[in-house]
A and B are shown apart, each in its own frame.
Chain A
Amino acid sequence: MDKNQESLFVRLIPFFERYGILLLILIMIAVLHLLQPDVFLSWRNVTNIFKQVSWQSMLALGVFMVIVTAGIDLSVGSIIMLSLMGLAIASKAGMPWYVVMLVAPAIGFLCGMFNGIGITLLRMPHPFIMTLGTLYIFRGIGNLISGGVPITGFAEQIRVIGNGKIKLDAFFGEGAREYIPTSLILMIVIFFIFWVFLNHTRIGKWIYAIGGNPGAARAAGINVDRILIIVYTLCGFLAGIGGLILAGRTNSAYPNAGLQSELDAIAAVIIGGASFFGGRGTVLGVFAGVMIMGILRNGLNLMNVSVFWQQVLIGSIIILAVYIDVLRRQLATRT
């Protein structure tokens, strides 16, 4: 490779780092639209994608904050299941819907706080170990309280959150089939709140600082342990919201809920451009990462591609995304 070519390549990398992910989404949409012109961009299919990613995106957003601090949370898939089971039991016990609705986020909050306290106060050597432990503990408790069997049938107010439709009669005429899923609105609102939190508050700034250099954060007088507890608690809380959305969507709490979804969440965060080494990544990137996973799965399903090929493709995208991160770091240290 001669010099000019290399410098062009080098100059293109920051461009791809910033806009590559949006480009990737556009290409995916274009290709899938060409392959499935009648189905893929139909209102029904697009809303379906959003409904599917809405609960997964809550996990990804929480795991993203944890990864920004250079940590990891493997327990979110179990938190979603435990909060879902807690919600189902509260519902079955005949509690009013507004109490039932609070149960899932509250359980998620407590689970996340438990992780945070374990990682900081108990001085666990790495968040991987603490959250690997709670991955088993939380799912085990979920099965203990439910007896390991599905619980179905929730109040209408709960179902609306994951399955509700905002009719668009005003735009498409009386009785139109077009609608916006309630869960999409909820997802956008929550992503916006966390975007503000991470970019426009001191704690948000400190979360990035801890990921960049925890020693610098400590020297600046930041209570690193306190911030980490907040981050893991919020991550659990978001998983609890995910449980609430999932409850509405499936009208059922089942033992395998959220199984391995922690890995999907990590994948979405990494595909979205966050660095596994901490300190780097954006809320918009997480959203893009979640959408890429959702569109990919949806598109491959529409084309009857086997689940096995889906796994191969998603795995390849993760490796590609991380390789771009490696190249970026090499360039940053070369100067």
Chain B
Amino acid sequence: MSDHLVLEAKSVSKFFGTITALENVNLQLNKGEVLGVVGDNGAGKSTLMKVLSGLYKPSEGSLFFDKEKVTLSSPRDSQNLGLEMVYQDLALAGNLPIGDNIFLGREPTRKVGPFNFLDHKKRKQLTEEHLAKLKINVKSADQKVEELSGGQRQAVAIARATAFNAKIVLMDEPTAALAVKEVGKVLDLILNLKKLGVSVIVISHRMDDIFTVCDRVMALFQGTNFAESELRNTSRDEVIGWIMGKKD
């Protein structure tokens, strides 16, 4: 699989004034691969994600999408390149139904004379198809998001991120706010995305998550690449050691 690189960051550094958040960080992501990113608080995980999604401009270094060098000036740019971010605070409107949330800002419409009206039927149909494709179970596509459980909301957020054929999905602590019984469903969903050929980067501090869904794990420590390994060649204890800055 490593023959198809969809995303690469080369010696990326990010400075905030005198603070160095990232220093010479490298990252590679292959098609259909799930990469786990671990690290202690302040190790630079979130900063790296924000650089990849175009929210922050790297101070040094460069980004490559499909092996082509790109400069991102906003998250819109990375979205256009097929990268979507699932926000930790979910960014859903609880008062709106599932389908409305998935298509918010990109609603299907139909023309009646000079006017564009919402195509409720089409939205419902696309929503049901997409949820079925991701094997997300909800009572109805018309259910309001505020009536959903935390895990179902996370699923809707992921469905939203992938509704427009995203090739890369970044997830920041996708299971952090979930009840134990719901974690499994979200992890299944990540594995489903992988089967559909989507590449995923998961930030998590839960070893269970990392060792269930990831193909590869990389650890950041104080803003630098600390260690990296195929999952089958490492162990929980070793990865926990990396987070604390210990290497054999």
B87 close to chain A: CB less than 8 A: yes
- B96 contacts which of A201, A202, A209 (Cβ < 8 Å)? A209
Total contacting residues, chain A, CB less than 8 A: 25
B: contact size bracket: 20 to 34
A213 close to chain B: CB less than 8 A: yes
Residues of B within 8 A of A206 (CB): 104-105
| Whole-angstrom CA separation of A91 from B115 in the bound complex | 35
Task: Contacts A216-B104, A219-B87 given; indicate if A201 touches B93 (C-beta within 8 A).
Answer: no
Residues of A within 8 A of B106 (CB): 220-221
Residues of B within 8 A of A212 (CB): 93-96
Query: Which residue of chain B has the shortest Cβ distance to A279 in the bound complex?
Result: B95
B117 touches A201 (CB 8 A): yes
B118 touches A216 (CB 8 A): no
B109 close to chain A: CB less than 8 A: yes
Residues of B within 8 A of A211 (CB): 95
B104 touches A201 (CB 8 A): no
A216 touches B146 (CB 8 A): no
B76 close to chain A: CB less than 8 A: yes
A209 touches B118 (CB 8 A): no
Interface membership of chain B positions 78-111, coded 1 if the CB is closer than 8 angstroms to chain A and 0 otherwise? 0000000001011111111000110011110100
Interface of B is mostly: loop
| Whole-angstrom CA separation of A196 from B109 in the bound complex | 14
Chain A, 248-303, CB within 8 A of any chain B CB: 278-280
B147 close to chain A: CB less than 8 A: yes
- A280 contacts which of B92, B95, B104, B120 (Cβ < 8 Å)? B95
A200 touches B101 (CB 8 A): no
| Whole-angstrom CA separation of A212 from B104 in the bound complex | 12
B116 close to chain A: CB less than 8 A: yes
Interface membership of chain A positions 16-39, coded 1 if the CB is closer than 8 angstroms to chain B and 0 otherwise? 000000000000000000000000
- The distance from the CB of B213 to the nearest CB of chain A, in whole angstroms, is 24
| Whole-angstrom CA separation of A138 from B14 in the bound complex | 51
A215 touches B104 (CB 8 A): no
A332 close to chain B: CB less than 8 A: yes
B118 touches A202 (CB 8 A): yes
A222 close to chain B: CB less than 8 A: yes
Interface membership of chain A positions 191-207, coded 1 if the CB is closer than 8 angstroms to chain B and 0 otherwise? 00000100111101110
- B93 contacts which of A204, A216, A335 (Cβ < 8 Å)? A216
Residues of A within 8 A of B100 (CB): 205, 209
A positions within 8 Å CB-CB of B = 196, 199-202, 204-206, 208-209, 211-213, 215-217, 219-222, 278-280, 332, 335
